[in-house]
Structure formats: structure tokens, C-alpha cells
Amino acid sequence: MSGKNLKIDQDHVKRRIDNYLFYIYKSLPKSKIYSMIRKGEIRVNSGRIKPTYKLQLNDEIRIPPYLIDYKNEVSDTKIPPSRTKEFMSSIIDQNDDYILVNKDPELSVHSGTKNQFGLIDIARDKFPSLEIDLCHRIDKSTSGCLLLSKNKKFLRHFHNELQNNRVIKLYEAILIGVMKKDMIVESNINLSTKEHHHKVQESSDGKKAVSKFKILKTYNSFTHAEILISTGRMHQIRVQSANLNHPILNDKKYGLFSLNKYIAKETLISRLALHARSISFSDLGGNNVSYEAPKNNEFDILLSKLDNLTVKS
């Protein structure tokens, strides 16, 4: 029995295939979708693809036979009013095309095995008549600027801006160790996906990632840095920082785990010390717009305690 084919129309061009399948199969566990992609059960134009593959016009996605009659019943999970209130208070700006929010650390953008709903679910619940989509991603553990589109026209426009490296994102991070000078890091980043777990590494066959590190202040054993990126690879700053031997403080995937425990004990704060401070892009009218998101109190508390924290080499 052959599988079912889904044909991509203009509304979904440049959308990542994992995001597209989350949209089509809202009640299917995301871990299952990643598993099907990894095993080659889902193919595009008869070929294997990665979860990050960007869909093109008229692409044909092969869906395995057991999904043809899948009952795609949307979960009746109720969004707590308190979370909706927090979401609305996190909005920095919005217009007819997009919503810009200051995402809290540890709030996932998507629902998953460990969380019933993510920021995108809250936004869609709040604005049910709009076509809310993520314009880009930031990690669950990262706070700061996150852009949501309200229509497919702006979504396509923003993805085109991303593809042409015209979206500028500025981050702040606390790095372990004392950086000696500002630097530009250029490397190729490759994503490996197993089930719903992502592991990123620098690899010669990966995609180009460029980050500009600028020292804001140095401490006994840490560096408060500003990082400018025009490429948006998954875990880009976290991987490149770690490979510089300056991993981000409290990074539970690429960091120094024993040190993270020490910092959490001394400061009572375990959040990843990475914040998406600002984002700049052009709107549909061709106007350049720029937004900033203030850091939360925990990040500033970490900064205030760095003078009294020493890491033994």
C-alpha cells in the first residue's frame, strides 16, 4: 500500500518540515514525528530529509500508510488564565502582521513530552481567528526576543529576510572564563536529531554560522559578552562558546556540569545565562524596525554575584 502525499502550496513555502508536520498533525507526539523523519518513513520528493528541511513550492511529502486515517483530534488541554496573562504582559509590540514577545526562560516555544503547551499554543489560544506561526526559534532555556507572525504573507517575508541574512539578532551571555579580546567566530554547524533530542556540533559539512563576540565586562572567572549573529543556526552561540572553551554559564547541554551545580548552590539560580536582547528586520513596507527585550531579574542577579565567584582552573 502506498503512502499518502501532501503537496506544498504557497502558504507553506520556506516552512521547516518539522513545524509543518506539527501543524498538520497537532495531536501526534512530536517525538513520533521526529522518529518518522529519522527513519525515512516521511520523505520529500521521494528523498530522505532532515527536520530542518525548508519546504519548497510543489514539494510532495510522503506520509506513511498508517497516518492516512489518523484521527487528528486536537488536545483539549486548557491554557491556564495565568499563562495567558503572562503571555500578554510579555508582548513588546504587535501590529497587523506580527507579535514580538519577551520570552521567559524555560518556556518552550512548542508543546512536547514534558510540557502540555508552549508559547505558540498560548498565542493561538489567545488569537484563535489569526494564523499564528513562529517566525524563528530560540531555545527553551533562552529568554528574550521572539517574533510570531499573524499571517502567511509576513511569515514568508520574514523567512526570506532570514535566508538572506538580513535579520540581525543581538544576545547577551555570561561566559565561563575570561575572554582576552573581542572576536568573530565563523564555523559550520551540523544538527543531529534522534527522536526529539537535538545535538549540535561544528562540522565541515554543516551550515555556515557567524557570531561576533564583544566583551562588555570581565570578572575574576567570567565574561559578560554581547554576541551579534546574522545567521540563526540551532544552538549556534552555545556550541561556538563551548568550542572557544568559554561555555555559557548554566548551559546544561554544552556547559560545565559540575560548575553549574556550584553556581546554582551559591546563587540559587540555574537559568541559562543567555538572553536574546534585540532583533532588527524590515517590515512588509520595507521599513527597518528594531526591538529590545529587557533581561529578567535572575540574569541581573547572576551578574551582580560574579565578582564573588571564582572558578578554579
Residue 265 · residue 305 · CB < 8 Å = no
The secondary structure element, H or E, covering residue 237 is helix 236-243
Confirm whether 139 is a catalytic residue.
Answer: yes
3-class DSSP state for residue 65? helix
Residues 18, 59, 121, 139: which is the catalytic one? 139
Q: Which class for 266: exposed (0-12), middle (13-18), buried (19 or more C-beta within 10 A)? A: exposed
Specify the amino acid at residue 14.
Answer: K
**Lookup: cell for 281:** 528586520
How big is the CA angle at 147 (ends 246 and 17), to the nearest 5 degrees? 85
Beta bridge partners of 4: 63
Beta bridge partners of 149: 98, 133
Q: Kindly list the catalytic residues.
A: 139
